Chain A
Amino acid sequence: MSLAQTQQELISEFALFTDWQDRYEHLIELGKDLPLIAPEHKVDANLVRGCQSRVWLHAVQQGDVVHFTADSDAMITKGIVALLVRVYTGRAPQEILNASTEFIDRIGLRAHLSPNRANGLSAMIDQMKRYALAFSA
């Protein structure tokens, strides 16, 4: 499945929910499936700056693609990281760098994208893209 297809899959998945409660419950559920960061990588150096909750993000390059693991101390944030990991993991660095983030808006989580110090979705995306950039060099 391509990156765009995964995004489309998430959009369809979230379209099933008509109210906020179901949408957020689903997001929290997604968080439980997040490929967890290994304890040795769950260190301050891997914290994503700009989140009110703590988010740890780690990436490794395997062959031509990047694999992400992460964790957060907040459940909604963990769900959001899980969404991003599902979209970006197993992709080539260039694909990650070129990816649009419009799907976030389309699944009704746009509020998490605002350049507000409290929520770090854009900081997480930036961090993932920085990893991709480093691996593409």
Chain B
Amino acid sequence: MKPAALIPAYDIEGIRAQFPILKELVHGKPLVYFDNAATSQKPRRVIKAESAYYATINANVHRGVHTLSTKATEAQEAAREAIRKHINAKHAHEVIFTSGTTASINLAAAGLGQLLLKKGDEVVISGMEHHSNIVPWQLACERYGATLKAIPISDSGEWDLSIADSLIADSPNCKILATSHVSNTLGTINPAKQLITKAKKRGIVTVVDGAQAIAHLNVNVQDLDCDLYAFSGHKAYGPTGTGVLYGREVLLERMPPWQGGGEMIDTVTLEKSTWAKLPFKFEAGTPHIAGIIGLGEAIRWMEDYDKEAMATHEHLLLEHATKGLLTIDGLRIIGTAKEKVGVISFAIDGVHHYDLGTLLDQQGIAVRTGHHCTQPLMGRFGVSGTTRVSFACFNTVEEVEGMVAATRKAVKMLR
């Protein structure tokens, strides 16, 4: 069964040809990369854009009067505009560059904590959050005497919405709602908008961890109506060390700066400093200019290649893999929500995920094993870890079938 026959418009070979890494061999076998939820591979255009910066316009941004600095600044700001457009933010200065989702959420938690939290307040997250959307809030809560509460997760790996409603609606102390758009472990696409709408009515500030959504969903921050939205570049075909915190202008204006340094100030005296305007107030120091330029290119690349067609293709892989994996005796999929991206976590009776991951690697297949930085969620499902396969636009149905066969082979060796 060829994917081309299933989705005639999807040029899988054309897309694969743009990822140089897909020609690599692992243990003498063609690489099958199913760890895209950890980091996606990079198309040649992104790699070229990043190295072209160093080769032709390397200079610091926003400072120099010389030509290279101007060009570097223009390239970086073009990336900001590409991202603004991609997520439909109102203004480019609402797009803050960070080193990744983790930094974005730490910025959000530090800023909102200082701005909003006092003793007795509550911050609501969910039970499926990545540690980077748990720990920064724990730190903020601890600092200001607030309490962290979590929306429970159902057996299918979805938010328990009735409890979510009561956590938001019945508590006058809830000040911040910080939840993931898509679960990194389960693949669940959360009803983020529905919850944000309810939170807004209570004046609760909403933060969305979009790390797993940005490469797979059409993210529209104005439609979601969230206050802050965090994501990484490297999970969306962009370079590592890049990330974004989108913030609604009025909120960003009120939030205190996070890190102090160059670039983020207006005036500095030894007694007091005043802050630069947005977005620079939150961008202390020299940014990862090459990475940001690469990220801009990744965004343009996704748009050029029709993100919606990619999502349809990934959904096909999800369905195919789900069906195939369930034919393996004793295999249980953790996360069976109706709305999912191409992520499957599973556990197999009598088989340790570490063993399976090792034997799949021997067959050239890269998967993630372990707790996926979601230990509370592992506890919820009573497992110490899972094996996770996660798809991207360049994966094929043949690769999925190969992975199912390789899993079957590994299970046979391990039982």
Whether B361 and A74, one on each chain, are in contact in the complex, defined by CB atoms closer than 8 angstroms, is no
* Residue in contact with A76 in the complex, picked from B27, B354, B363, B385, CB distance below 8 Å: B354
Q: Does A133 contact B (CB under 8 A)?
A: no
Q: Which residues of B contact A21 (CB under 8 A)?
A: 362, 413
Q: Give 9 A-B pairs besides A74-B354, A76-B354, A111-B361 with Cβ atoms closer than 8 angstroms.
A: A52-B354, A52-B370, A52-B385, A53-B355, A73-B352, A74-B352, A75-B352, A118-B357, A119-B354
Q: Which residues of A contact B357 (CB under 8 A)?
A: 118
Q: Does B265 contact A (CB under 8 A)?
A: no
Shortest beta-carbon distance, A80 to chain B, in Å?
10
Q: Give the secondary structure class of A's interface.
A: helix
Q: Does A113 contact B (CB under 8 A)?
A: no
Shortest beta-carbon distance, B83 to chain A, in Å?
31
Q: Which residues of A contact B370 (CB under 8 A)?
A: 52, 118
Closest 8 CB pairs of A and B: A74-B352, A53-B354, A20-B362, A74-B354, A76-B355, A52-B354, A74-B355, A52-B370
Whether A24 and B362, one on each chain, are in contact in the complex, defined by CB atoms closer than 8 angstroms, is yes
Q: Does A28 contact B (CB under 8 A)?
A: yes
Q: Does B116 contact A (CB under 8 A)?
A: no
Q: Give the secondary structure class of B's interface.
A: helix
Whether B414 and A28, one on each chain, are in contact in the complex, defined by CB atoms closer than 8 angstroms, is yes
Q: Does A7 contact B (CB under 8 A)?
A: no
Whether A118 and B354, one on each chain, are in contact in the complex, defined by CB atoms closer than 8 angstroms, is yes
18 contacts between A and B (CB under 8 A): A20-B362, A20-B363, A21-B413, A24-B358, A24-B359, A24-B362, A25-B413, A28-B413, A52-B369, A52-B370, A53-B354, A73-B352, A74-B352, A75-B355, A76-B358, A77-B354, A111-B361, A118-B354
Q: Which of B185-200 contact A (CB under 8 A)?
A: none
Whether A20 and B27, one on each chain, are in contact in the complex, defined by CB atoms closer than 8 angstroms, is yes
Q: Which residues of B contact A25 (CB under 8 A)?
A: 413
Shortest beta-carbon distance, B325 to chain A, in Å?
20
A interface list, Cβ under 8 A from B: 20-21, 24-25, 28, 52-54, 73-77, 111, 118-119
Nearest CB in chain A to that of B414: its residue: A75
Q: Which residues of A contact B363 (CB under 8 A)?
A: 20
Q: Which of B352, B358, B369 has the most C-beta atoms of chain A within 10 angstroms of its own C-beta?
A: B358
Q: Which residues of B contact A118 (CB under 8 A)?
A: 354, 357, 369-370
Shortest beta-carbon distance, A2 to chain B, in Å?
30
Nearest CB in chain A to that of B415: its residue: A75
Nearest CB in chain B to that of A118: its residue: B370
Instruction: Report Cα–Cα, A81/B413, bound state, in Å.
Output: 18
Nearest CB in chain A to that of B359: its residue: A24
Instruction: Report Cα–Cα, A28/B362, bound state, in Å.
Output: 15
Shortest beta-carbon distance, A18 to chain B, in Å?
12
Instruction: Report Cα–Cα, A130/B329, bound state, in Å.
Output: 42
Nearest CB in chain B to that of A25: its residue: B413
Shortest beta-carbon distance, A9 to chain B, in Å?
24
Instruction: Report Cα–Cα, A73/B355, bound state, in Å.
Output: 10
Q: Which residues of A contact B384 (CB under 8 A)?
A: 54
Q: Which residues of B contact A52 (CB under 8 A)?
A: 353-354, 369-370, 385
Whether B413 and A53, one on each chain, are in contact in the complex, defined by CB atoms closer than 8 angstroms, is no
Shortest beta-carbon distance, B159 to chain A, in Å?
28
Q: Which of B388-415 contact A (CB under 8 A)?
A: 413-414
Q: Which residues of B contact A119 (CB under 8 A)?
A: 354
Q: Which of B329-356 contact A (CB under 8 A)?
A: 352-355
Instruction: Report Cα–Cα, A76/B356, bound state, in Å.
Output: 9
Shortest beta-carbon distance, B137 to chain A, in Å?
23
Instruction: Report Cα–Cα, A73/B361, bound state, in Å.
Output: 19
Q: Which of B27, B354, B357 has the most C-beta atoms of chain A within 10 angstroms of its own C-beta?
A: B354
Q: Which residues of A contact B354 (CB under 8 A)?
A: 52-53, 74, 76-77, 118-119
Whether B369 and A24, one on each chain, are in contact in the complex, defined by CB atoms closer than 8 angstroms, is no
Shortest beta-carbon distance, A26 to chain B, in Å?
11
Shortest beta-carbon distance, B28 to chain A, in Å?
9
Shortest beta-carbon distance, A82 to chain B, in Å?
14
Q: Which residues of B contact A76 (CB under 8 A)?
A: 354-355, 358-359
Instruction: Report Cα–Cα, A50/B385, bound state, in Å.
Output: 15
Q: Which of B134-190 contact A (CB under 8 A)?
A: none
Q: Which residues of B contact A77 (CB under 8 A)?
A: 352, 354-355
Shortest beta-carbon distance, B146 to chain A, in Å?
31
Instruction: Report Cα–Cα, A75/B351, bound state, in Å.
Output: 8
Q: Which residues of A contact B352 (CB under 8 A)?
A: 53, 73-75, 77
